[in-house]
């Protein structure tokens, strides 16, 4: 037998989205008020296991994460796996990339599948704003730690003596940026003002989100994407009865201190939400042996970040830069995408992103293009609604978007043929952004 002296490099395999499951997203303090991140992630996993018959199955790897995470949840995902019906020998790890966490788990696991390191994987994310970790003040924490290290009575007294009564107050996590101390909403208000995004445009986007999400629910689109939990059977934030008039009646909550008119309201900003999502991934072979129908392939991904600390760009504008790089690498333009999913952190985030892409000057000066990057047909944008209507449990949003659009891609291909593509774009705290291309499988 002839010996091969080198292994022939093979093209990476395809990483396929085989399905997903999430629990309905609930308003903060609602149905999941007493559910922990681990509870919700386990519930989402259990629904996925049930839908795809994965009981006792050893999945290659499970990756998930939470943005607001208690230190006791250092192994959140692994603990959720152990509490699920999956085989206990299923490995797991936690990921944290702010609101991009869910999508990053998908990107990382997809790459492992493409490399042949994994045959199957589950990506996921969870967040609870109702069961958020409360911590002690930094001063109390340091004093207590010094106390524990103190050897002599004098050292102990000194450590104790540093504690002041107001150090004892508990500290809840905030959505404030550590470097700017501005909340995400305040940051977005700056971007909104910079790009001159109008209240009307924001409210219209919010209305479309609610209407499209409601239509998807009514059509049974989520029947095989969502498993109810704790009596919550649909997304708790969905407002079927909202209207432009009702949205217009809301008082602005962010940007009220700027010269520009304040336009961001509770209606066109995402509310605090609890929820969890999972996405089942696999190689072609694994899917075939399980009788699972591939919905979409994860084609490529690109992360980005902006220097918001120095006012260079808005906090949530990183995808504006990442997407052009991603599409260029894949020889695509916005016109080649049948679907564009832009996470609705705020209506104005989506609109400012589109405005930047449509700006000739921005395209030339900031994106290094000959002109504007391009326009997104609104009919292709967030076709089944997005975070404004569904809510946004930070790390769970990536899984929601991916599972939803993967199913839509699959249906579209069945209906119209071809290989429709979707862009998924998620902005995140810290000026981060993560974007990915999916295509129908």
Partner 1 sequence: MANPITTTLSAKLSGLLGFSPAVPLRRWSAGQPLVDGKVLVLGSGTGPDADADAVAALLSGSPAQPSATPDSAGTEVLDGWGLDVYRHPVPDERYAAVVLVLTGVEHPDALHEPLLAAASTLKKLARGGRVVTISRTASASDAPAVAAARQGVDAVVRTIAKESRGGATANGIVLGDGVPVTAASAVGALRFLLSTRSAFVHGQLLAVDSTAGALPADWDAPLAGRVAVVTGAARGIGAAIARTLARDGATVVAVDVPAAGEQLAAVANEVRGTALQLDITAPDAGATILEHALARHGHLDVVVHNAGITRDKLFANMTEAQWDSVIAVNIAAQLAINEALLTSGDFTDAPRIVSISSTTGLAGNRGQANYAATKGGVIGMVRATAPLLEPFGGTANAVAPGFIETEMTARMPAVTRQVARQLNSLQQGGLPVDVAEAVSFLASPQAGGVVGRTLRVCGQNVVGA
Partner 2 sequence: MTLVDLPAVPGLGGLYARGAASTGRLALARRTGSAPVELPATAYRVRGVRASLDHLAAYQRLVGEEASDTLPPGLVHVLGFPLAIALMARTDFPLPMLGMVHLANLVEQRRAIGYDETLDVTASADRLRPHRTGTQVDLVVEAAVDDEVVWRGVSTYLAKGVHLPSDERASDDERAPFEPPLPTGQWQLAADTGRRYAAVSGDRNPIHLSPLTAKAFGFPRTIAHGMYTAARLLADAGRGRGDAFVWSVDFVKPVLLPATVATSVRHRPGGGFDLAAWHPRSGKPHALASVAPPPLTPPNRRPDRPSAAWSTAPPPATPPLLRLSATRPGATPGSSTIQPRSRSTIRRAGRPTIQPRPRRCSGYP
- What minimum distance in Å lies between the beta carbon of 270 and partner 1? 24
Residue number, 202 or 404, with CB nearest to partner 1: 404
Q: Cα(52)–Cα(430) distance, rounded to whole angstroms?
A: 36
| Binding span for partner 1 by CB under 8 A among 180-188, 220-228, 320-328, 405-413 | 220-228
| Binding span for partner 2 by CB under 8 A among 81-89, 282-290, 309-317, 376-384 | 309-317
Across-strand partners of 277?
22, 125
SS3 of residue 12 by DSSP: coil
Size of the site for partner 2 (CB under 8 A): 25
| Rg from Cα positions in the chain | 23
Determine if 312 is a binding residue for partner 2 (CB under 8 A).
yes
- What minimum distance in Å lies between the beta carbon of 356 and partner 2? 9
Tell me whether residue 392 is one of the annotated catalytic residues. Answer: yes
Determine if 313 is a binding residue for partner 2 (CB under 8 A).
yes
Q: What backbone phi and psi angles, to 5 degrees, belong to 200?
A: -60, -45
Determine if 346 is a binding residue for partner 2 (CB under 8 A).
no
- What minimum distance in Å lies between the beta carbon of 394 and partner 2? 22
Q: Are 408 and 415 in contact (CB under 8 A)?
A: no
Across-strand partners of 340?
381, 423
Contact pick of 26, 43, 213, 423 for partner 1 (by CB under 8 A): 43
232 DSSP 8-state letter: B
- What minimum distance in Å lies between the beta carbon of 30 and partner 1? 15
Q: Cα(397)–Cα(393) distance, rounded to whole angstroms?
A: 6
Beta strand 92-94 pairing with 421-428: unpaired
Determine if 291 is a binding residue for partner 1 (CB under 8 A).
yes
Determine if 254 is a binding residue for partner 2 (CB under 8 A).
no
Contact pick of 52, 308, 357, 373 for partner 1 (by CB under 8 A): 52
Q: Cα(357)–Cα(336) distance, rounded to whole angstroms?
A: 15
Tell me whether residue 343 is one of the annotated catalytic residues. Answer: no
Determine if 230 is a binding residue for partner 1 (CB under 8 A).
yes
Q: What backbone phi and psi angles, to 5 degrees, belong to 252?
A: -65, 140
Please name the residues in contact with 353: beta carbons below 8 A apart, sequence gap of 6 or more. Answer: 317, 319, 320, 342, 425, 427
- CA 160 vs. chain centroid, Å, equals 42
Q: Cα(409)–Cα(216) distance, rounded to whole angstroms?
A: 14
Determine if 229 is a binding residue for partner 1 (CB under 8 A).
yes
Tell me whether residue 187 is one of the annotated catalytic residues. Answer: no
Binding site for partner 2 (CB under 8 A): 138, 177, 179-182, 186, 190-191, 193-196, 257-260, 308-314, 361
- Known catalytic residues? 99, 392, 427
Binding site for partner 1 (CB under 8 A): 43, 46-47, 49-53, 55-56, 85, 220, 222-224, 226-230, 233, 290-293
């Amino acid at each position: 037998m002839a010996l091969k002296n080198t292994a022939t490099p093979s093209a990476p395999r395809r990483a396929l989205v085989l399905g997903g499951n999430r629990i309905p997203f609930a308003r903060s303090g609602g149905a999941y008020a007493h559910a922990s991140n681990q509870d919700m992630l386990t519930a989402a996993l259990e629904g996925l296991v049930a839908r795809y018959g994965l009981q006792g199955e050893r999945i290659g790897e499970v990756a998930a994460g939470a943005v607001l995470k208690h230190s006791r949840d250092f192994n959140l995902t692994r603990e959720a796996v152990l509490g699920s019906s999956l085989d206990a020998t299923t490995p797991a790890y936690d990921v944290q990339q702010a609101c991009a966490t869910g999508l990053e788990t998908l990107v990382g696991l997809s790459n492992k599948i493409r490399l042949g390191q994994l045959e199957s994987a589950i990506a996921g994310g969870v967040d609870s704003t109702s069961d958020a970790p409360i911590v002690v003040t930094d001063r109390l924490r340091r004093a207590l730690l010094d106390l524990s290290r103190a050897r002599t009575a004098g050292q102990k007294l000194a450590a104790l003596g540093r504690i002041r009564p107001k150090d004892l107050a508990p500290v809840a996590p905030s959505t404030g940026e550590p470097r700017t101390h501005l909340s995400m909403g305040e940051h977005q208000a700056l971007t909104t003002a910079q790009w001159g995004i109008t209240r009307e445009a924001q409210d219209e986007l919010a209305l479309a989100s609610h209407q499209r999400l409601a239509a998807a629910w009514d059509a049974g689109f989520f029947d095989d994407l969502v498993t109810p939990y704790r009596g919550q059977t649909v997304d708790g934030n969905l407002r079927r009865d909202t209207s432009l008039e009702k949205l217009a009646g809301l008082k602005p909550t962010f940007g009220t201190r700027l010269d520009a008119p304040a336009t961001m309201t509770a209606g066109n900003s995402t509310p605090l939400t609890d929820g969890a999502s999972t996405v089942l991934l696999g190689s072609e072979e694994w899917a075939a042996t399980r009788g699972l129908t591939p919905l979409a392939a994860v084609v490529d991904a690109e992360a980005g970040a902006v220097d918001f600390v120095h006012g260079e760009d808005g906090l949530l504008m990183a995808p504006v830069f990442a997407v052009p790089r991603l599409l260029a690498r894949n020889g695509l333009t916005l016109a080649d995408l049948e679907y564009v999913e832009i996470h609705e952190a705020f209506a104005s985030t989506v609109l400012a992103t589109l405005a930047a892409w449509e700006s000739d000057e921005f395209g030339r000066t900031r994106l290094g293009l000959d002109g504007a990057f391009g326009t997104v047909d609104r009919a292709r944008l967030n076709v089944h609604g997005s975070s404004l209507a569904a809510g946004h449990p930070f790390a769970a949003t990536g899984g929601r978007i991916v599972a939803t659009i993967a199913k839509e891609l699959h249906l579209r291909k069945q209906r119209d043929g071809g290989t429709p593509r979707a862009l998924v774009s998620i902005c995140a705290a810290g000026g981060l952004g993560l974007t990915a291309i999916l295509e129908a499988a």
